[in-house]
């Protein structure tokens, strides 16, 4: 009777639950976008698909397992959020202190993202680890947009990507594999320092010919807001030659015995290193902030899910107990009567 009907019922239930586990977990981790709609619908157990009345601890076991796993996920994401929060504090201080570094260069050379050049490098700064919300996708989106922007002018433009960070590489590899010039990984193993950035800048300058570099990164505004930013740096040849681009660089006297070419070369390389240092710090701070929000959302979703599961579990448990009682009582009543 009851046990007979429990078996097919619980098998249906298992398929329903485990079939949906992956999608719920991943949307929980991503958290921010689209999570709301999914969470709103079900925990995999709509009332119509519960095991029929009388099915007992077989379904209870499944729900209990699920509750255990959701609880442990909740603990993990909460811990990740706290780790991200503490890392954020440190690196935010560093990023804010470094904000003055690129300002003299922009004051001198201007900020001209619309410059038309033949050879361009797009430096995409992304994170190595995941679970940090949408920051890497937004950086990659803007890099691709910049690439297409250049393509609008004509087919003979040479544009290459230089990627910093695993996640950016993973996304750009899918359709632009041949266009990736260089890749830097594991940049955050030791904390970001200026020496490291100047070495990276050195490598990029040595191995690539370019007229302009456009660096795409996430600028940290606050824990919940990051803005994709594009910093443009021109090569020394462009600075020297094209007066229209740099305005009145001629008005500046060069102090010292070096020629103007040498000084401008050093200037442009130094600008690149400084901008890269600030960009990497800002991106790392944005990564920590985004991870904090993502993990916060995930924890909240997990606790919501746990509440729903608990209610469902209790309901089914109480229903089965009630059914047993009814059977016993009606059996007893039949005997008496």
Partner 1 sequence: MFSRSFAEVAATSSSEKQEKVFGEAQVTEKFKADWKTIAPNFDMPKFPSNFMEVRPPVPSTIPAKLTVNFVLPSQYEIKAKQVDYVIVPATSGQMGVLPGHVPTIAELKPGILSVHDGTDVKQYFVSSGFAFVHANSVADIVAIEAVPLDRFDPDEIRRGVQEYTQKMNSAKDDLEKAEAQIGVEVHSALQYALGIA
Which residues are near partner 1 by CB under 8 A? 94, 97-116, 141-142, 145, 148-149, 152, 194, 216, 219, 227-232, 244-249, 251-258, 263, 266-267, 270, 274-275, 277
Distance CA 50, CA 150 (A): 57
The residue (of 72 and 227) whose beta carbon lies closer to partner 1 is: 227
Using alpha carbons only, give the angle 320, 52, 324 rounded to the nearest 5 degrees.
25
Smallest distance, Å, CB 230 to partner 1? 5
The residue (of 2 and 230) whose beta carbon lies closer to partner 1 is: 230
Smallest distance, Å, CB 91 to partner 1? 13
Smallest distance, Å, CB 104 to partner 1? 3
Distance CA 335, CA 85 (A): 67
Distance CA 215, CA 125 (A): 7
The residue (of 281 and 306) whose beta carbon lies closer to partner 1 is: 281
Phi-psi group of 19: left, alpha or beta (phi > 0 → left; psi -120 to 50 → alpha; rest → beta): alpha
Distance CA 154, CA 117 (A): 11
Would you give the DSSP letter of residue 189? S
The residue (of 227 and 314) whose beta carbon lies closer to partner 1 is: 227
Which residues 6+ apart lie within 8 Å of 175 measured at CB? Answer: none
Distance CA 212, CA 233 (A): 6
The residue (of 17 and 215) whose beta carbon lies closer to partner 1 is: 215
Smallest distance, Å, CB 202 to partner 1? 13
Smallest distance, Å, CB 107 to partner 1? 6
Burial 261-286 (b: 16+ CB within 10 A, else e): eeebbebbbebbbbbbbbbbbbbbbb
Smallest distance, Å, CB 321 to partner 1? 55
The residue (of 215 and 306) whose beta carbon lies closer to partner 1 is: 215
């Amino acid at each position: 009777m009851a046990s007979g009907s429990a078996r097919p019922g619980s098998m249906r239930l298992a398929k329903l639950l485990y079939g949906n586990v992956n999608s719920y977990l991943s949307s929980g981790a991503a958290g921010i976008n689209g999570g709301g709609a999914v969470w709103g619908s079900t925990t995999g157990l709509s009332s119509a698909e519960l095991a029929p009345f009388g099915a007992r601890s077989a379904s209870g076991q499944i729900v209990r397992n699920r509750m255990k796993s959701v609880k442990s996920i909740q603990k993990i994401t909460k811990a990740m959020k706290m780790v991200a929060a503490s890392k954020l504090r440190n690196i935010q201080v560093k990023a804010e202190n470094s904000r003055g570094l690129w300002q003299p260069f922009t004051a001198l050379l201007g900020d001209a993202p619309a410059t038309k050049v033949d050879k361009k490098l797009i430096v995409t700064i992304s994170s190595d680890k995941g679970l940090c919300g949408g920051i890497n996708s937004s950086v990659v989106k803007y890099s691709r947009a910049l690439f297409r922007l250049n393509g609008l002018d004509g087919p003979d433009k040479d544009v290459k990507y230089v990627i910093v960070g695993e996640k950016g590489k993973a996304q750009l590899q899918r359709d632009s594999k041949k266009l990736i010039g260089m890749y830097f990984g594991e940049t955050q193993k030791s904390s970001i320092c200026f020496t490291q950035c100047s070495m990276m800048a050195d490598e990029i300058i040595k191995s690539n010919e370019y007229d302009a570099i456009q660096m795409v990164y996430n600028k940290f505004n606050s824990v919940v807001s990051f803005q994709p930013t594009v910093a443009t740096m021109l090569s020394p040849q462009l600075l020297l030659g094209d007066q229209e681009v740099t305005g009145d660089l001629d008005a500046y006297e060069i102090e010292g015995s070096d020629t103007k070419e040498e000084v401008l070369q050093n200037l442009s390389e130094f600008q690149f290193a400084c901008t890269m240092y600030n960009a990497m710090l800002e991106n790392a701070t944005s990564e920590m902030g985004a991870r904090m929000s993502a993990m916060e959302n995930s924890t909240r979703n997990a606790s919501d899910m746990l509440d729903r599961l608990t209610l469902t579990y209790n309901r089914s448990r109480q229903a089965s107990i009630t059914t047993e009682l009814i059977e016993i009582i009606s059996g007893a009543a039949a005997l008496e009567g």
